[in-house]
Amino acid sequence: MAIRIKSRGGENVEQMMRRFKKLCEKEGLTKDIKRKEYYEKPSERKRRAARKSESRRVREA
């Protein structure tokens, strides 16, 4: 799952970095990194998922 960026003609480093960041966001890498930054107990993960589904259910109703 390596993301590779090749320089386009006349493209500077900032533009390449912008494209790289967009690709990382599109692949979901930034969300995954933030989620794995700290250890989360399985019970906490289940509790967070239950709260999320409950709020989604309330919003739909």
Per-domain residue ranges of the chain = 13-60
> Which residues are CB-contacts of 16 (< 8 A; sequence separation ≥ 6)?
5, 7
Residue 2 has pLDDT above 90, yes or no: no
> Which residues are CB-contacts of 2 (< 8 A; sequence separation ≥ 6)?
none
24-61: pLDDT as tens digits: 999 999 999 999 999 999 999 999 999 999 999 999 87
| Mean pLDDT, rounded, for 10-25 | 94
